[in-house]
Every structure is written in C-alpha cells, then in structure tokens.
C-alpha cells in the first residue's frame, strides 16, 4: 500500500494480493525435533466429536492434514503450512538461549505457538522483547510455560486447546501405575538382557487390586483417571479445590479429602493431575513426600515443577517412595544431570503422554481453530482462553492463580549443550507489507 501511494496512483487502494500482504501476520511456532529414525505408521483414527461432559472437539473450517500423521514435530508444522502460506510462518525447534532461532525471531512476531512437550518459555524478559506480540497459543494443555502475569501486563491473549489430550494423559497415568506396581521396568530389563530371574522380577511386584489410589486434582484428567481405575477394584480418593458432584462421588465410590496432606497419608498410589501455578509449585516437597505411606508410589504427568526434584530422588533412594513415574520434568528438555535420569525405581519418559498421534490431530485442529478466530477477529472459545484483556479468563480463571512459574527455565539451554545437537529451523514462508 505504501509503495502504491508513493508511486502516484492517486487514492490509496490495495489489490487483493496487496491487502493480504498488508494484513499479514508473523507466526512463530516452536515444535519438537523431527524423529531420528523416520517411519511410516498407517492407521485410521477413530472419529471423536465430543469429549466426556459434552464439549465438542476442535472445529476449524477445514484441516490440511490426515489425522494420524506426525504433526507435532518441525516438519509436520501442525499441518499449518498451506493455511498460513500468505503469512510469515516460522517453525523451529531452536528455543533456548540468546542465540536460539526463537529468540532472534521473537521481536516482530504477532503470534507465538508452543507445546508443553518442548516449551518455548515466555518469560517476562521475552515479553519485553516481543513488541508486536498479541497471542500465545499452547498446542496442547497447560500454559505454565508462559509468564501469565507478564501476559496480563502486556495485554497478550493466551489460549490453549482445552481437553484435546486429557484422555491421552489419563491413559498414560494408568499405564504408569501398573508399570510401577507390577515392577515392569526391572522385569523388562531382565528379559532384554537374556535373564530369567523370576525372584528379582517379582520381589517388588504387587496387584493394584484393593489398593488406595488418590488423585491430586480431579478435573478432566484426574476424573478420567479415577474412572479408569475403578474397574481394578481399587479404593479411590481425591482432592480438588472444586469438589465433584455428589452423584459422581457415589457413582465411583470416591472419598473426598479437604487437603493434599490428608490424601497422601492414606494412599498407596498418588497421582498428580493439577495445573502448575504459584500455589502448586513444589507442592510435593520433602515434608509432604515423607508424610506419605512408606513404600507408596507417586505418578506425575502434570508438571515437573510441582515436585521438588531432589526430594523425589532422595525418597526413591531411601525407599520412602517405592517408585516414581511420569513424563514431566523441569525444565524441559531436562539437562543430562537431572536427578530423575538416574534415580532408582523410576519409570520416567520424555514428555510424551499428551502428544500421541491421536492427540496431535486434535491439538493441531484446535490451534488452527484459534488462529482462524484471531485472523478474522472473531472471539476465541471461552474454554480455550487462559488470559484475555489483561486478566485470567475462561479455563485460566477456573484453573490457575495469578503469578509466574517460568523461573529457572533458562536451565533448559543446557540440554542443547549436553546433546550437541545441531540447530534446526524451518522457514516455511516469509513475506511482508
């Protein structure tokens, strides 16, 4: 438009192509690295239109991918390449430290997309640099990698794809419980090493039947865990700041606790399914862990920072915890010297529970739905909102407290140095007006 006016063409006018350029936005997307051993997996995914409780799955105008494709890594680009071809779309896995692609591309970005699994930590310092930023999207659930206080101060909207992978995570929790209680990891290692030492396999193996199993947090994920553990004939407990309906408590035979301290004292298995915010940061410290039953199991697929890493490692060493499992760490990726990488009796994985190929199809569609609303200036779904108009909103108002939990995230830069991995960047399309 500026070029047309300066060329002396009279009244300012834009061709359709020029209008597209003038309304172009820069979308900076951080995704995890592509697989080191690419493989094709062909499977038709079941169609899911609604979640438990009635919320509908993401509903963009269309998608440009086949559900079941690998979408969460750099080359998958969340299936957004065609949709954003008229915009400046930068996709990278390089996210930590001052020399990262993310840091260099951030100052003029309008939209930042990140994942909980490979989070681009949006600290107050980064908000200060991002003068054009209007929207932060979490491709998944959990926006604690964003300094929500800073987002409020800068008037940046924060949104996530609520419920997209809640069931995925709940399934991982159940798997983790059985893995620990049945001593699966040690038994598997014995089989893979050519052994047949039955006594070593079963000396720490139990049935989960009859055990007291409790969840800290009974929202979408926590409630789904409780429903899936009921058929194992366990005694179910929960704590949540929002008590469940009496009908649900009766249906599942739940025991409600008015404090975390009350719950952990009576449970053989404790699973953490609450958001990370200032009131839950390091909730599971040494004092709380040592108030648990000796020899109990702790599962954490919520956020790594809810637990004191050193206290968990010490408890596994001492036998206070019979095992610790989950997939969340802090920071992410975890440095090679993170205490959970080498502690005994653990069944940890990288942060994968919520990024199955099934979940990717849903959160990729949800990201596109949010972008369609943003680009057309339509309201984003209330249940997707975390921050809007300078305050907690939607799901954020229900699930989070004000504050910041990104402190210490700079340690994630150590992973790249440890692994000596090359910087990876994909510049999908560029342009400007």
Positions marked active-site: 165, 303, 332, 351
- Quick one: three-class SS letters along 167-218? HHHHHHHHHHHHHHHCCHHHHHHHHHCCCCCHHHHHCCCCCCCCCEEEEECC
Nearest-angstrom CA–CA distance, 82 and 44: 23
* Burial per residue of 395-426, b for 16 or more beta-carbon CB atoms within 10 angstroms, e otherwise: bbeebbeeebbbeebeebbbbbeeeeeeebbb
401 three-state secondary structure: coil
Cβ-contact 218, 226 below 8 angstroms: yes
Q: At 30, which helix (H) or strand (E)?
A: strand 26-30
Cα 405 from chain centroid (whole Å): 14
Nearest-angstrom CA–CA distance, 98 and 58: 35
Cβ-contact 271, 225 below 8 angstroms: yes
Nearest-angstrom CA–CA distance, 130 and 105: 9
Nearest-angstrom CA–CA distance, 411 and 13: 50
Cα-flanking dihedrals φ and ψ of residue 217, to 5°? 110, 120
Nearest-angstrom CA–CA distance, 168 and 163: 10
Structure tokens at 349: 């994985």
Nearest-angstrom CA–CA distance, 96 and 412: 7
Instruction: Using the structure block, give the residue that is written with the tokens 């994942």.
Output: 115
- Quick one: three-class SS letters along 324-386? EEECCCCCCCCCCCCHHHCCCCEEECCCCCCCCHHHHHHHHHHHHHHHHHHHCCCCCCHHHEE
Cβ-contact 165, 141 below 8 angstroms: yes
* Burial per residue of 169-203, b for 16 or more beta-carbon CB atoms within 10 angstroms, e otherwise: bbbbbbbbbebbbbbbbbbeeeeeeeeeeeeebee
């Amino acid at each position: 438009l500026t070029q047309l006016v300066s060329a002396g063409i009279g009244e300012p006018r834009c061709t359709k192509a020029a209008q597209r350029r003038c309304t172009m936005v820069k979308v900076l997307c951080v995704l995890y690295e592509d697989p080191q051993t690419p493989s094709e997996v062909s499977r038709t995914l079941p169609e899911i239109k609604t979640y438990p409780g009635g919320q509908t799955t993401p509903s963009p105008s269309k998608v440009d991918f086949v559900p079941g494709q690998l979408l969460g890594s750099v080359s998958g680009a969340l299936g957004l390449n065609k949709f954003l071809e008229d915009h400046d779309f930068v996709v990278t896995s390089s996210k930590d430290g001052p020399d990262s692609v993310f840091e260099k591309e951030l100052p003029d970005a309008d939209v930042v997309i990140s994942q909980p699994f490979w989070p681009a930590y949006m600290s107050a310092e980064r908000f200060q640099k991002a003068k054009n930023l209007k929207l932060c999207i979490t491709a998944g659930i959990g926006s604690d990698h964003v300094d929500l206080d800073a987002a409020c101060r800068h008037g940046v909207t924060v949104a996530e794809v609520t419920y997209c992978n809640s069931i995925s995570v709940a399934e991982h929790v159940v798997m983790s419980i059985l893995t620990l209680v049945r001593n699966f990891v040690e038994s598997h290692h014995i089989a893979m090493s050519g052994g047949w030492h039955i006594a070593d396999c079963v000396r720490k193996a139990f049935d989960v039947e009859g055990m007291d199993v409790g969840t800290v947090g009974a929202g979408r994920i926590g409630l789904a865990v409780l429903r899936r553990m009921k058929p194992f004939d366990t005694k179910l407990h929960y704590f949540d700041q929002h008590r469940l309906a009496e009908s649900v408590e009766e249906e599942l035979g739940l025991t409600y606790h008015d404090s975390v301290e009350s719950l952990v004292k009576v449970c053989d298995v404790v699973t953490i399914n609450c958001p990370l915010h200032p009131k839950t940061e390091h909730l599971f410290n040494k004092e709380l862990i040592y108030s648990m039953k000796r020899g109990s199991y702790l599962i954490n697929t919520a956020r790594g920072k809810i637990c004191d890493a050193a206290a968990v490692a010490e408890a596994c060493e001492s036998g206070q915890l019979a095992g610790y499992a989950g997939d969340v760490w802090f920071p992410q990726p975890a440095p090679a010297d993170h205490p959970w990488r080498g502690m005994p009796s653990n069944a940890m994985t990288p942060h994968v529970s919520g990024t199955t190929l099934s979940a990717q199809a849903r959160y990729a569609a949800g990201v596109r739905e949010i972008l369609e609303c943003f680009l057309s200036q339509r309201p984003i779904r209330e249940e997707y909102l975390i921050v809007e108009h300078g305050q907690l909103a939607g799901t954020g108002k229900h699930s989070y407290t004000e504050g910041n939990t990104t402190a210490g995230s700079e340690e994630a830069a150590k992973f790249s140095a440890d692994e000596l991995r090359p910087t990876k960047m994909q510049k999908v399309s560029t342009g400007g007006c």
